[in-house]
């Protein structure tokens, strides 16, 4: 009678452990951004598709969350659920980053 109980307990442990998520962020994710030097292509290579763009491709926006390990890009969604930050990037006509900011949208 005991064996099945222990097996069940172990199964529950495995299932519950599966719910825990390890931090997947990167502390250096945004460190490559350098106003006056970084190109739009570099940004899109490193961060992927932006969640929004303005004035053509001159202003790009990315949504992020931060976990214990650093920042994580969040995909496109219709609202701010699960989002903490907006990375806003303004490029010049040559596609070089001119200004950028990390806007806190929701408190962690």
Asked whether position 54 contacts other proteins by CB under 8 A, the answer is: yes
DSSP category for residue 23? -
Asked whether position 28 contacts other proteins by CB under 8 A, the answer is: no
7, containing H or E segment: helix 2-19
Q: How many residues bind other proteins (CB under 8 A)?
A: 21
Q: Which of 33, 65, 72, 88 binds other proteins (CB under 8 A)?
A: 88
Asked whether position 38 contacts other proteins by CB under 8 A, the answer is: no
Minimum separation from the CB atom of position 20 to other proteins (A)? 21
> What's the CA gap between 101 and 107, in Å, rounded?
16
> What's the CA gap between 2 and 17, in Å, rounded?
22
Strand partners, 96: 39
For other proteins, the binding residues (CB under 8 A) are 51-52, 54-55, 59, 61, 63, 79-81, 86, 88, 90, 99-101, 103-107
């Amino acid at each position: 009678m005991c064996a099945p109980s222990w097996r069940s307990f172990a199964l529950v442990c495995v299932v519950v452990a599966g719910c825990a998520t390890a931090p997947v962020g990167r502390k250096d994710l945004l460190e490559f951004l350098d106003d006056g030097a970084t190109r739009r292509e570099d940004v899109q290579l490193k961060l992927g598709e932006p969640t929004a763009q303005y004035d053509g491709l001159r202003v790009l926006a990315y949504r992020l969350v931060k976990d214990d390990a650093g920042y994580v890009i969040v995909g496109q969604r219709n609202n701010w659920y699960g989002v903490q930050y907006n990375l806003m990037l303004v490029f010049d006509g040559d596609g070089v980053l001119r200004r950028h900011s990390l806007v806190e949208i929701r408190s962690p």
